[in-house]
Each structure stands twice: as C-alpha cells, then as structure tokens.
Amino acid sequence: MPCHLTKCKILYQIPFWFALLLTACDFTQVNNPYPKDQDDKAILYQSFDERPKTLDPATAFAANEYAFIAQIYEPPFQYHYLKRPYELVPLTAAKMPDIQCVDKQGEKLSASADIKDIAFTDYIIDIKPNIKYQPHPALAKAATGDYAFHHLSKEQIANLNTLTDFNDNGSRELIAEDYVYQIKRLAHPKTQSPIAEMMKNYIVGFGEFSDKVKQLPKTAIKDVPMAGVTAINRYQYRIRIKGKYPQFMYWLGMMFFAPMPWEADVFYDQPGLSDKNITLHWYPIGTGAYLLAENNPNRRMILERNPNYHLETYPNEGEPDDKQADLLADANKPLPFIDKVIFTLEKETIPYWTKFLQGYYDASGIASDSFDQAVQFTGSGGVQLTESMKEKGIYLQTTVEPSSFYMGFNMLDTTVGGYTEPARKLRQALSIAIDYEEFISIFMNERGLAAQGVLPPGIYGYEEGKAGINPYSYEWTGGRPQRKAISAAKQLLKEAGYENGIDPKTKQALILYFDTTSTSIDDRPRMSWYRKQFEKLGIKLVIRSTDYNRFQDKMRKGNAQIFVWGWNADYPDPENFFFLLYGNNGKVKFGGENASNYQNPAFDRLFEDMRNRDNGSERFQLIQHMQELVRHDAPWIFGFHPKRFSLSHSWFQNRKPHAMANNELKYLRLDTATRTQQRQTWNQPVLRPLLVSAFLVVAAFAYGIKAFRQHTQKTLQ
C-alpha cells in the first residue's frame, strides 16, 4: 500500500509539474504559423487556393498565374495604379510608343488617315537603358566569359534539385532584342501560347514565322527573323501589325509581351532539368520588382525583392480622393516597399478566414460562409463592416469588376432564336421576368450590380443614369432603374404568341431548355430559382445539367437553347465585350467566342467601325447604338457585373482595388510594428482548459487504475 500511495502522489503531482512547465515556456502566439524571426520584417502574407499551371509569360493567362508573374516580368507598359479610368503608362518603355500608320507601299500616313488606306500600323517602342535582369544561373558567366551553366553534365544535373542549388548567378542588361525574342516564342508552336492563333491575325509575319520554325527546337528561333518584329537598335524595337488595331496597345501591357532573354531557353532546355521540374514554367527570369525565391506550388511560393530592380517610383497623381485616402503619402518614393511576399496554399475557406482574423494574413476576400460575420447592410442599402471587424481596425474596399455575366439564347434555336418579332418579344419578356436583382440578393450577398447592357462600369462607353438603362426591361423611377412589372412581360409574351405561357402548337405550357454545368446539390437552389422565374410567365423550364465537356460540346454544335455565360475583360476597351456578339465570332459557324451565335449585319457593321476608332464622341455614339441594337434583339438577358469585396488589416497600406493591373504588390506597404502588436493581442492562448484537460486525463487515468485493481481482485475472488 505505501508503494501505491507514493505512485499516486506522483500521479497527482503531474498537473502541478505540467502547470509549471506551461508557465516556464513562452506561450505567446503558439498558434503563429510563421517563424518568430519573421515578426518585424516587411513580409506580406497572402494565400492561393489553386496552384498555377505555368509561370511562363508566353503561356500563362489565368488570374492565379498573373498573381505571380506580374510581379516578376515587365512588359513595356503597365496600368497607372491610381488613375481611373484605367490608363496605360510606360513601365520599361522610356515613353509611350510612337504609332505610325503606313500604306501598302510602306509610306507613312497621317494620324487622321482613312482606315481603308491603312495597310499596317507600326509600334516603335523605346526601352529604358540600364534595366537589369534578376540574378539567375542562366545568365551566370564563368571566368572565361562563357555561360557557366549552359552545358551541364549529367552528373551536375543529378546533383541539382532546385534552382538555388546552382552556386552562381548572373545578370545582364535588358535589351530590345529580348522583347523581339519573346514575340518569337509566342509564335513557336511548341510554346503553345494561348494567344498565338489570335496574333497571327495581327502581327505581320507571325503566322509565317510559326510555320517556318515548327520543326525547330525552341532554342533555335533567336536568329530566325520575323517580318513584322524587329529590334531597331539596342533599346528600340518595332512591331508592325496588319491594318489598324488600337487595342493592340493593351496587349503590350500584358505579360505575353514581357521580355525573355534567349539564355533562359538555352539553359532550361538542357536534358534532365525538366525531370527536376527546373523549367521556365516554374522558375521565371524577369526584370520586375520581385523574383521567385521559392517555388513549391504544392505548398508555398515566395517572392523576394529583386536586388537588381530599376528605379521606379510611387505615382504622384491619382484620383481627386486619393490624397484624402492617404494613397499619395508615398508619392515619388522608390518601389517596392515590401521585401518579401509569402503565398501559402490554402484550399479551404475556414482556416483561411480564421488566419485572416488572427492577423496571419494581411488581406482577404469574403467567402459566402463568413459574409455575415464581416459585412452588414445599412438601411439605405449600403454596406458596412460589422462591429467585430471595425474593432480589429479592418477596412473594406469594394469595386465592380470588369466582367459581365448573362443568360444567353442560342440564336440558331428555332424557339428562342431568330430575328423575327415574336422571337424577339419572347426574349424581351424573359428579360423582364428573370429578376437579377433578386438573384444578386439571394445568391451573391448583394455583391453584384444588375447589368443594363453589354459593358460593365469602368469600360469606355458605359453610361450611367437614365440614359444607360435597358429600356426594354427597366423604367427610370425615383432616380434609379426599376425592373418593369411582370404584366409588361406577360403582354410581350402574348404578342409573341405564347399567351399565359401556352405554346399554341401543343396547347400546353411552353417548354424551354436550360443547359448548365451546375450538377451538384449546392446548385439546386439556383436551378430552382431559375425555374420559378420562368414560371412567372407560365413557361416550364427544363434543366439539362451536364458535365463541362458535354456542355462545351453542345455549345460548339449549337445544341444548347438557353445557357449562362460570362466574360472577364482582357483589357478595358468596349471592343473586348462587343466582340462577344460579332457575327464572325459565332461559336457554331466560326468556333469563336460569340456563344449566342448572334449575327446582325447592322451590329456587325457598327462593330467593325467602332473597334478601329480611338475614344471620342463618335465612338461613344457608335457604342450606344450597338447597345441599343443588342437590348432590342435581346440575344442576352443581361445578368450582373460582380462586385469584389476586399478586406485589409489596418497595417496594410496603399491598397486601391485595380481590376486590370496585377502588378500592384510593389505599391503596397506594411506597418509591421502595428501588425506584431495586434497579433500578440489577438493570439494569446487560452491555457486554462489545457490545465483542466490535463487534470481530467490524470484523474481518469488514476480512476482507471483503481477500477482495474478492484476489478482484477474481484475476478480472482
């Protein structure tokens, strides 16, 4: 028995020793996912939920790829960070390009020349001297002057696992030839650039170059000339495009036209490196504000300040309110302000949101399940943060994205398609009946703006107020657009020959078919809502859910009747939206992006005229005319333009939502002292339950032993 007592005493002392251990240890912020030595450093913490497919600027096109490469690569032009409407400004270019129109003979034409006389347009771009690439082994040179790592042996490659395993890095100056080389890369079939086919229509010699080099390795294109793209001298190059295409300027602000040193392809093309995932897809080489220091798309991507970054300063002008919003406090200061950006793979919204609230992410979007926790609506319909968010000093920024979502009709369909008056009235009636304001309220937490036309706000030609509404579906009442009453829709339906939704052929409710990829149980409420919208008119909607591949197939073959589609702007120009309705882009006939297969000769003529014009009153009028035609023909039921809600902590500064630019990291600033202090305050662990739990475990253990002894003794008896 004394022995048992001693054991028990020790047992009962465990909580005491455990408590002592707890008090002896530093238990502040035990939930910190980052090393403690990062606390006071200017490191921005962000997340990504899907790994990028590629970081090669010739092939990357998705938003999650641009989030990285836009910080690393530099096309000649970029969007001004603060000015609205969006405006292109030089980045590596010394000035805006010299644009010269020429005729078939190569003679220069005046700026006001008739578009029919313009055979080509030359873009002559001057780049700044003394811009250097990030340190990279592809550019490292040995003492002999040869490239150090362009002829690696099998043994050398066997010892490599990542790019950091190379013992030397080099750099060199950015030259015009690098921009020319990148355009050649776009044309090479092996690069598989998503814009290659499109650029064949614009850049002179692009298609011919592609045919010429298709059998050659990627590394052999440097010295093969492309007729329309030439380096005039070390710092100047020219791109010649067919005819006039003013939107080409926007392409020059995209990553596809960022420079690439030829050494990169030679380096990465060495056999064996791709087996280690050491490729240009995963290890970029750019001149931008940041370089990719760690690339583990399965877990974490780290950007670090490029030590060779050229002088670029924070803008000193913006919108009138920017000064008041403290967005000009850093004017003229050299960029970037943040030393390192750590992107962590975070697939689920719950841990992501929790980490944001704990201060371990500096900014966040708002997922549906945390919306009510973050945002509340005011009586006047505005949005504001909840008290708990305000207490943490979090601030909210909202912006309407340059995207349009719509319900499209297949204009080739015999029931809903066509250009007859009854068909048009049927579509107009449905445009009234489908209440997208309700949709935005129910399914989007009011994060959307009901669309009145093809163009989203912020795109040239978008008109606000009474003049900008869709008169076929809305009325201007009380200073705002009001959807027409359902009686108006019923009247239109009657005029279309479907009184009370009855199909005269069958004498039963008209049946329409909605093709969608929404197949999950989560989509059912949305599908049910669509059905109810059609039922308002007595029309029966049949949902034809299918997987994405089959849906695409139906769309290509014209077998879909009604569908939902969307478009996110490539660049802020109305051409990038209206081309979705241009007849020659019909999906069925031409495999283009016109999913509705809308083909109205009057619209097409206006589009052809509008797309080549510079912004001005004439172009604006053309756009309004096109809007009117589309509203009248109603090949689309205009849906909504999504609103982006962004939350940021108080220490995260200089944030201004920008729907077109992706290279905004260099403008951002962190107040790390505040962040460290706030994290400390918010993340003190609650240790009392731990002590109680430990005590309970010990008590249960002691009770178990006691019960066990009693039980065994009882058995023996």
Partner 1 sequence: MINYIIRRFLYAIPILIGVNILTFVLFFIVNSPDDMARMQLGQKHVTQQAIDNWKHQHGYDVPLLWNEKAKAEEKLTNTIFYQKSVGLFMFRFGTSDSGRNISADIQERAWPSLTIALPTLIIGLIVDICVALMVALFRGSKLALGGMVLCVILMSISSLFYIIGGQFVIAKVLRWVPISGYDDGFAAVKFIILPVLIGVFSGLGSGVRWYRTLFLEEVEKDYVRTARAKGLTETQTLFRHVLPNAMIPILTGVVVVLPMLFMGSLIMESFFSIPGLGSYTIDAINSQDFAIVRAMVFLGSVLYVIGLLLTDISYTLVDPRVRLS
Binding site for partner 1 (CB under 8 A): 30-33, 35, 51, 53-54, 61-62, 189-190, 192, 194-198, 274-277, 279, 281-282, 296, 298-300, 344-348, 350-352, 354-355, 358, 360, 547-549, 552, 570, 591, 593, 683-686, 689-690, 704, 707-708, 711-712, 715-716
One DSSP character per residue, 449-504 reads: EE-SSSPPTTSTT---SGGGS-TTTEEEETTEEEEPPHHHHHHHHHHTT-GGGEET
Within 10 Å of residue 437's Cβ, how many Cβ atoms? 15
Cβ–Cβ under 8 Å, residues 426 and 496: yes
CB of 574 to partner 1, least distance (A): 17
Specify the residue, 483 or 649, whose C-beta has the smaller distance to partner 1: 649
Handedness of CA 93, 286, 232, 209 (dihedral sign): negative
Percent of the chain as helix, strand, coil, to the nearest 5: 35, 20, 45
Cβ–Cβ under 8 Å, residues 637 and 427: yes
CB of 640 to partner 1, least distance (A): 19
Specify the residue, 30 or 224, whose C-beta has the smaller distance to partner 1: 30
- In the sheet that holds 340-345, the strands lie side by side as 43-48, 340-345, 300-305, 290-296
Specify the residue, 110 or 298, whose C-beta has the smaller distance to partner 1: 298
Structure tokens that stand for 572 in this block: 């802020």
- Determine if the peptide bond prior to 85 is cis (ω within 30°): yes
CB of 262 to partner 1, least distance (A): 20
Within 10 Å of residue 652's Cβ, how many Cβ atoms? 22
CB of 484 to partner 1, least distance (A): 34
CB of 127 to partner 1, least distance (A): 27
How far, in Å, CA of 345 to CA of 343, rounded?
7
Cβ–Cβ under 8 Å, residues 539 and 416: no
Specify the residue, 274 or 559, whose C-beta has the smaller distance to partner 1: 274
CB of 560 to partner 1, least distance (A): 16
Specify the residue, 277 or 491, whose C-beta has the smaller distance to partner 1: 277
Specify the residue, 62 or 673, whose C-beta has the smaller distance to partner 1: 62
CA 28 to chain centre: 37
Cβ–Cβ under 8 Å, residues 370 and 630: no
How far, in Å, CA of 362 to CA of 458, rounded?
27
Specify the residue, 274 or 376, whose C-beta has the smaller distance to partner 1: 274
Cβ–Cβ under 8 Å, residues 193 and 202: no
Cβ–Cβ under 8 Å, residues 459 and 572: yes
Within 10 Å of residue 270's Cβ, how many Cβ atoms? 18
Q: How far is CA 381 from CA 15, 187, 376, 530, 681, in A?
A: 55, 50, 10, 24, 34
Specify the residue, 190 or 323, whose C-beta has the smaller distance to partner 1: 190
CB of 568 to partner 1, least distance (A): 8
CB of 73 to partner 1, least distance (A): 18
Specify the residue, 445 or 585, whose C-beta has the smaller distance to partner 1: 585
One DSSP character per residue, 629-649 reads: HHHHH-SEEEEEEEEEEEEE-
CB of 270 to partner 1, least distance (A): 14
Specify the residue, 247 or 354, whose C-beta has the smaller distance to partner 1: 354
Q: How far is CA 328 from CA 87, 317, 321, 583, in A?
A: 18, 7, 10, 46
Amino acid at 309: Y
Specify the residue, 467 or 686, whose C-beta has the smaller distance to partner 1: 686
Specify the residue, 225 or 591, whose C-beta has the smaller distance to partner 1: 591
What are residue 295's DSSP bridge partners?
Answer: 301
Structure tokens that stand for 389 in this block: 């968010």
What are residue 404's DSSP bridge partners?
Answer: 567
One DSSP character per residue, 491-540 reads: HHHHHTT-GGGEETTTTEE-EEEEEES--SGGGHHHHHHHHHHHHTTT-E
Specify the residue, 222 or 276, whose C-beta has the smaller distance to partner 1: 276
CB of 306 to partner 1, least distance (A): 25
CB of 251 to partner 1, least distance (A): 11
CB of 58 to partner 1, least distance (A): 12
Task: Work out the angle at residue 120's Cα, subtended by the Cα atoms of residues 119 and 126, and round it to the nearest 5 degrees.
Answer: 165
CB of 328 to partner 1, least distance (A): 35
Within 10 Å of residue 2's Cβ, how many Cβ atoms? 6
CB of 269 to partner 1, least distance (A): 13
CB of 689 to partner 1, least distance (A): 6
CB of 2 to partner 1, least distance (A): 21
Specify the residue, 144 or 548, whose C-beta has the smaller distance to partner 1: 548
Specify the residue, 545 or 624, whose C-beta has the smaller distance to partner 1: 545
Judged by DSSP in three states, 183 sits in helix
Handedness of CA 703, 708, 713, 717 (dihedral sign): positive
Specify the residue, 346 or 604, whose C-beta has the smaller distance to partner 1: 346
User: What radius of gyration do the chain's Cα atoms show?
Assistant: 31
Q: Using the structure block, give the residue that is written with the tokens 């240009």.
A: 280
Q: How far is CA 115 from CA 155, 199, 602, 609, 613, in A?
A: 60, 20, 19, 9, 9
Judged by DSSP in three states, 147 sits in strand
CB of 712 to partner 1, least distance (A): 5
For 54-161, where are the alpha helices, taking DSSP H only?
A: 63-72, 154-158
Specify the residue, 546 or 624, whose C-beta has the smaller distance to partner 1: 546
